[in-house]
Amino acid sequence: MPSNNTASTDAIDATLTLTPGKVDLAMLRRIQAGGVRLALDPSVRDGMQKAETAVRHIVENDQVVYGINTGFGKLASTRIGNDHLAELQRNLVLSHGVGTGEPLAAPVVRMVLATKAVSLARGHSGVRPALVDALLALFNAGVTPSIPCKGSVGASGDLAPLAHMACVLIGEGEATLVDGKKVSGAEAMRSIGLEPFVLGPKEGLALLNGTQVSTALALAGLFGAEDVFASALMSGALSLEAIQGSIKPFDARIHAARGQPGQIAVAGAVRTLLEGSEIVPSHADCGRVQDPYSVRCIPQVMGACLDNLAHASRVLVIEANAASDNPLVFCDTGEVISGGNFHAEPVAFAADIIALAVSEVGAIAERRIALLLDTGLSGLPPFLVRDGGLNSGFMIAQVTAAALASENKSLAHPASVDSLPTSANQEDHVSMATFAARRLGDMVNNTAVVVGIEAMAAAQGIELKRKLKSSPLVEAEFARIRQNVAFLERDRYLAPDIEAMRLWALEAELPAALLNILPSHS
């Protein structure tokens, strides 16, 4: 989701204290949104200092340990003299700054800075606490390192993107200040009152190893997926009212009989949304036996999506708190152990699961748009316009929705099943988590358009038959939709309306009944 949006420090209204292992999903959503300051829990500093001391002890006693005084990857067997260790770490950062593409969005970079600070503060990385302080100082000043969005395979960490972040710490690379001005890494450091770092043993490697970029992108995708999910429940309720569909498939007994938690939660949310509707009881004895699946099976489909989002959220919260660089320092025994916590397979799977959910939310919403436009099924005027023929109404808006729903089906192909060996086959299986997470931004935007079109079409359908009122919650959202788009009396240029409704789907002020079932709000 490339963007250059930044959060003004003038809007800061709270300080969040980061305690590794205790950073929860709600905190991560607030970090992404901005408007907060970050502070490190003072209790973790002792562990960080002990790990740094352990690394210094290795150097001073001339022990050979990977990542501290050796080359990297396939060059791990090459011993580096103590007089070249600072150069080794600097060269590592510079050589890995090979990313390409648009810069990551500021909200994503905020989460990268925060989660990298949390990871290093676990006390297994052997870096100076001052490095963590610098990451938080950049965050608090609204300084955004310029991190290209492409160039990571998600194993041995997000090496290239994290190198671009680390470049700023050593006075290289580029960053954007809170006022939008682009500056060099050295200027960015001076803007927060620091000189560029001369990296100590292992510090460059600790900054580069890790899954923080993949995780930040996946979290951004998760939060966007939650937003469009909630909006799709509202647009689905609007569609049900527009076609005068049955509320019976949302009966709690049906869903309790199956027992799937997401399904139960979604059915309950829709019942709450429609409570007090005049439309629902008005057609209790109509001739329609069953509604199409896209309405009748909202709890089953959307509930399965919700369960998958909940699972992905659990994985990503663990990863956001994880020590994921290599090697790791264990101060209780003085050991430095090489492993593979940098492999982002958990993130890749989580991102693929989110992609499936986002795609299905858009797919079922698109089917409801088609239902609304089909007079034989909906009982509404063809294509939701009174003077059909002369006017095409929502005909081509549904084509746009179909195009984006189809595009999402292609994007939903799992990225985690792919792998290309790197580093002369030393890194012979990789996760592709960074792309898996990055493509979620496009998918969320596609689904937001589809859901926005549905909400606009459903509002049109309700108004075409307007005799009775819906529930207070649905009527309140109907009024907000009408603040964005007017009733379609005759054909007009719809692109601005669709864009307004895309933003509605991402930013709607939805009732607690919808938000409380989401992982980051529950």
Catalytic residues: 66
Q: Can you tell me the distance from the alpha carbon of 191 to that of 171, in angstroms, rounded to the nearest whole number?
A: 12
Partners of 391 in beta bridges: 388
The beta strands (E) that lie in 242-347 are given as 328-330, 335-337
Q: How far apart are the first and last CA of the chain?
A: 26
Calculate ∠ Cα 343-138-25, nearest 5°: 50
- CA nearest to 300, candidates 348, 356, 262, 342: 262
Task: With residue 415 as reference, give the H or E element that holds it.
Answer: none
Q: Can you tell me the distance from the alpha carbon of 425 to that of 417, in angstroms, rounded to the nearest whole number?
A: 18
Q: Which distant-in-sequence residues (6+ apart) come within 8 Å of 54 by Cβ?
A: 126, 329, 331, 334, 336
DSSP state of 325: S
Q: For the CA atoms of 380, 381, 386, 388, what is the dihedral angle to 10 degrees?
A: 160
- Both tokens of 61, joined, read 């006693």
| Residue 211 near residue 158 (C-beta atoms within 8 A) | yes
Q: Can you tell me the distance from the alpha carbon of 357 to that of 443, in angstroms, rounded to the nearest whole number?
A: 10
Handedness of CA 198, 200, 201, 207 (dihedral sign): negative
Helices marked H in 465-511: 472-484, 495-507
Q: Is 407 exposed, middle or buried (0-12, 13-18, 19+ CB in 10 A)?
A: middle
Full strand arrangement of the beta sheet holding 182-184: 144-145, 174-176, 182-184
Q: SS3 breakdown of the chain: % helix, strand, coil, rounded to 5?
A: 60, 5, 35
Q: Which residues of 43-53 are buried (b: 16+ CB within 10 A; e: fewer)?
A: ebeebbeebbe
User: Radius of gyration of the chain from Cα atoms?
Assistant: 26
Helices marked H in 61-209: 85-96, 106-120, 129-140, 159-169, 185-191, 203-208
Residue whose pair of structure tokens reads 């610098």 in the numeric block: 134
Preceding peptide of 327 cis, ω within 30°: yes
- Both tokens of 379, joined, read 């009982």
Task: Give me the phi and psi of 148, to 5 degrees please.
Answer: -60, 145
- CA nearest to 210, candidates 140, 101, 131, 102: 131
